């Protein structure tokens, strides 16, 4: 497929080869009218399908103000904060506005530094938390742009990793540990229960905070509303974005404990000119209320679909036995060969299925309400491309 010219726009990656005209449900249509089955859904954004009629109607009917100055009060801000806090793990009782995931992560790093008076962090090796300098420092950013001192914790995340972490935290200079509870960016890396459940007591013993980044995993992706719920763990802060609006508008949020909110209010900066734009807030409120109302049915469906995807993938003839890692509809197939994985993803795209590919891992993040016929058609196409 030829790569489209993009003379004025700066973009990473080499996959700007689809000129998207529209997207609906689990399908993306290009400018020539070609239809693609979307098993990526904007990377954990369109969790419940594209162009949802309820959210579209909400946008067209919106009669609220264009803009709210951050220093004013606005009832829908309080309403969205109340809704998010109601869904979040216990103890996270306050909410900061953000424009997206990176800003939410940045706010979490800021809160951790102000609250602990420390400047160091621990993050997972090769993680991704966004494209701001703080987020790139705790992520896999180039050394040239690292502005924070960050120690890397190497997976697997098991009892041994907890010991290695303890050695680092003992120096009592780490503000926070930041990680995705199940890492989408590391190809559905699933920590062992012992690791996750030992994490908070270990962090707190040494005065370190725990930030769980749910920007990608939030809102049902892993079969729980938040991936944190797979474990008995209460983070000090949690970031969310992406699927909060299902793609119909942009938003991010940081959820924090009461004392961390007080620190941010007294010593921090949570200004954000476009954080929680009124239209985005209206869409997020509608979406989060809908998710809340339908939570049980939606998550049960994720479990059923997840079992179907995994069963089908297990039955496929890969050249080498792949490792399949999954939670809900976050499904990684490590085919153990980077070139082969890239080739499969490209062939699938050319034939009409969109997948993500990270090194030797094919990553599938289909809509959580994709219908069975579409799931089957996409999986059949993948099978034909192997």
Q: Which residues bind ligand PLP (CB under 6 A)?
A: 43, 100-102, 105, 128-130, 180, 184-185, 213, 215-216, 241, 252
Give the sign of the dihedral formed by CA 161, CA 234, CA 326, CA 214. Answer: negative
* Complex with ligand PLP: residue 99 or 369, whichever CB lies closer: 99
C-beta of 296: minimal distance to ligand PLP in Å? 26
**Cα separation, 189 vs 124, whole angstroms:** 11
C-beta of 213: minimal distance to ligand PLP in Å? 5
Burial of 140 (0-12, 13-18, 19+ CB in 10 A): middle
230, 182 Cβ separation under 8 angstroms: yes
C-beta of 386: minimal distance to ligand PLP in Å? 27
C-beta of 270: minimal distance to ligand PLP in Å? 16
C-beta of 229: minimal distance to ligand PLP in Å? 17
Start-to-end CA distance of the chain, whole Å, equals: 18
44, 244 Cβ separation under 8 angstroms: no
C-beta of 240: minimal distance to ligand PLP in Å? 9
**Cα separation, 171 vs 167, whole angstroms:** 8
**Cα separation, 200 vs 174, whole angstroms:** 14
C-beta of 373: minimal distance to ligand PLP in Å? 29
**H or E segment to which residue 133 belongs:** helix 133-138
* Complex with ligand PLP: residue 184 or 379, whichever CB lies closer: 184
**Cα separation, 135 vs 85, whole angstroms:** 23
* Complex with ligand PLP: residue 124 or 379, whichever CB lies closer: 124
- Helix and strand tally (H, E) in the chain? 11, 15
* Complex with ligand PLP: residue 200 or 216, whichever CB lies closer: 216
**Cα separation, 198 vs 58, whole angstroms:** 43
* Complex with ligand PLP: residue 180 or 334, whichever CB lies closer: 180
* Complex with ligand PLP: residue 140 or 194, whichever CB lies closer: 140
- Collapsing DSSP states into helix, strand and coil, what is residue 69? coil
* Complex with ligand PLP: residue 244 or 313, whichever CB lies closer: 244
**H or E segment to which residue 37 belongs:** strand 35-38
Number of residue whose CB is nearest ligand PLP:
101
DSSP string for residues in 257-302: -HHHHHHHHHH-----TTTT-HHHHHHHHHHHHHHHHHHHHHHHHH
* Complex with ligand PLP: residue 225 or 375, whichever CB lies closer: 225
C-beta of 103: minimal distance to ligand PLP in Å? 7
Comparing CA positions, the residue from 82, 136, 118 lying closest to residue 263 is 118
């Amino acid at each position: 497929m030829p790569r489209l010219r993009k003379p004025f726009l700066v973009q990473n990656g080499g996959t700007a080869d689809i000129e998207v005209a529209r997207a609906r449900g689990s399908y993306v249509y290009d400018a020539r009218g070609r239809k693609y089955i979307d098993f990526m859904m904007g990377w954990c954004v369109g969790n419940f399908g594209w162009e949802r009629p309820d959210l579209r109607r909400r946008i067209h009917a919106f009669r609220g103000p264009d803009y709210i100055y951050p220093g004013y009060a606005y009832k829908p801000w309080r309403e969205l904060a109340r809704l998010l806090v109601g869904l979040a793990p216990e103890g996270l009782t306050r909410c900061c506005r953000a424009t997206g995931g990176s800003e939410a992560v940045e706010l979490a790093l800021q809160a951790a530094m102000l609250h602990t008076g420390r400047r160091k962090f621990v993050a997972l090796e090769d993680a991704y938390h966004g494209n701001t300098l703080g987020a790139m420092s705790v992520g896999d950013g180039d050394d040239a742009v690292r502005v924070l001192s960050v120690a890397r914790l190497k997976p697997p995340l098991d009892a041994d990793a907890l010991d290695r972490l303890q050695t680092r935290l003992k120096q009592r200079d780490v503000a926070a540990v930041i990680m995705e509870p199940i890492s989408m960016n590391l190809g559905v890396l699933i920590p062992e229960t012992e690791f996750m459940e030992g994490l908070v007591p270990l962090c707190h013993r040494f005065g370190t905070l725990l930030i769980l980044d749910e920007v990608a995993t939030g809102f049902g992706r892993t079969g729980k509303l938040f991936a944190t719920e797979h474990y008995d763990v209460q983070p000090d802060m949690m970031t969310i974005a992406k699927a909060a609006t299902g793609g119909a508008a942009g938003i991010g949020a940081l959820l924090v404990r009461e004392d961390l909110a007080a620190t941010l209010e007294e010593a921090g900066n949570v200004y954000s000119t476009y954080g929680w734009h009124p239209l985005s807030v209206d869409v997020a409120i509608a979406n989060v209320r809908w998710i809340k109302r339908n939570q049980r049915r939606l998550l049960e469906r994720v479990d059923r679909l997840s079992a179907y995807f995994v069963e089908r993938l297990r039955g496929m003839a890969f050249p080498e036995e792949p490792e399949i890692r999954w939670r809900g509809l976050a499904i990684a197939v490590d085919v153990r060969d980077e070139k082969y994985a890239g080739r499969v993803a490209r062939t699938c795209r050319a034939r009409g299925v969109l997948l993500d590919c990270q090194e030797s891992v094919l990553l599938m993040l289909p809509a959580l309400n994709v219908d069975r016929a579409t799931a089957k058609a996409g999986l059949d196409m993948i099978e034909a491309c192997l």
